[in-house]
Amino acid sequence: MSDSRQAKLTIWVTEVLGQLKPENRGEISLSLVSGDASFRRYFRTYMGDSSFVAVDAPPKQEDSRMFVHICNMFRDADISVPKVFFADYEQGFMLLNDFGDQLYLDVLLGLRTSGCNNEINSLYEAAINSLLDIQSRINKKRLDSYSKNELHREMALFEEWFCTAFLELEINDAERGMIAKTLNFLEEAALSQEQVVVHRDYHSRNLMILDDNIFGEGSSPGIIDFQDAVSGAYTYDLVSLLRDAYICWDVSKVDSWALYYLERAKSSGLIANIDEAQFQRDFDLMGLQRQLKVLGIFARLYIRDNKVRYLADIPQVIDYFLEVSQCYIELRPFLHWFRTKVLPIAETKLKINY
């Protein structure tokens, strides 16, 4: 994005902050907080003792109207998402309240290094409690469906961007048929699950610590990057959180947190008549769909958007896929092809060894 957009954003922020805090009118400056996997950029600005986040979301690539619509829907349900003070849809600018800099990921990495297991557990329970609030408080009928076409479009990124564009793998007609059969199986598995509100990217880089009482009872994370929310499978956000591309936990921890979710979801009436075996299958198969999607997205971010850092996260996603897919007979043909044709090239490209 050009410096001209930042200059225009600075002028716009100065104007709207003058309306919000006329007593503190004055020159403001923007400092880059972050970009994300989209085309949006986030800047921090100060006026008096208050800080705000200014968003540059180019309207040709980003839908700010949807961002504001979903944000208001979440806030109306008392979910901890930022407040939108102003939005200029034509320019693609927004002004939000500031959630600070403490990402779940950074805090979790520090706690793991220090061996603070109780605190880690508290953060995951808080994240799961907030997820249950999202699923139970928001009317899923107000959102688009996570349709079969959309599930397929996402998984197709695996073949297009990871296999063909990144690995330069040649895929024959028989292999394409096998891949299509596998994707259809995962699509149907997702559609057969109980449908709830799905954040769609619920993980440690999109959850934030909002106050110093981060381990207190009732504490909840700030939630960002919610604008793609849909109505979809009840396990989607849970597996995004617990099989996170950016931080990995041992199986016993993941199982414990997953069962924490299951017990509370059943006791609240959110889901019914789902035993542990069915829940595990739902959780696993939904994760496989997401992992194929993520492999495609990370490859696209590297190739199309020159975001090299996402390559480092691909091995973890492959690990999840290999570990889980071997448990399901329906995945055996795909897994055999993945191991024999995809992995050898991926190992060379990524400089890893499985």
DSSP letter string, 145-210: B--HHHHHHHHHHIIIIIIIIIS-----HHHHHHHHHHHHHHHHHHHTSPEEEE-S--STTSEE--
Please state, in angstroms and rounded to a whole number, the distance separating the CA atoms of residues 224 and 245.
17
Q: Give per-residue pLDDT as tens, 164-206.
A: 999 999 999 999 999 999 999 999 999 999 999 999 999 999 9
> Which range has the worst mean pLDDT, 24-38, 268-282, 330-344?
24-38
Minimum mean pLDDT range among 13-27, 94-108, 130-144: 13-27
pLDDT at 2: 54
pLDDT of residue 353: 85
What is the per-residue pLDDT for 22?
Answer: 75
User: Does residue 1 surpass a pLDDT of 50?
Assistant: no
Report the chain's mean pLDDT, rounded to a whole number: 94
pLDDT at 274: 95
CATH for 3-97, options being 1.10.260.40, 1.20.120.1760, 3.30.200.20, 3.40.50.2300: 3.30.200.20
The 10s digit of each residue's pLDDT in 102-121 is: 999 999 999 999 999 999 99
What ranges do the domains of the chain cover? 3-97, 104-350
Question: What per-residue confidence (pLDDT) applies to 257?
Answer: 98
List, in order, residues 6 or more apart from 245 with CB less than 8 Å away: 203, 294, 298, 313, 316, 317
Burial of 127 (0-12, 13-18, 19+ CB in 10 A): buried
Domain at 104-350: CATH architecture: Alpha-Beta Complex (3.90)
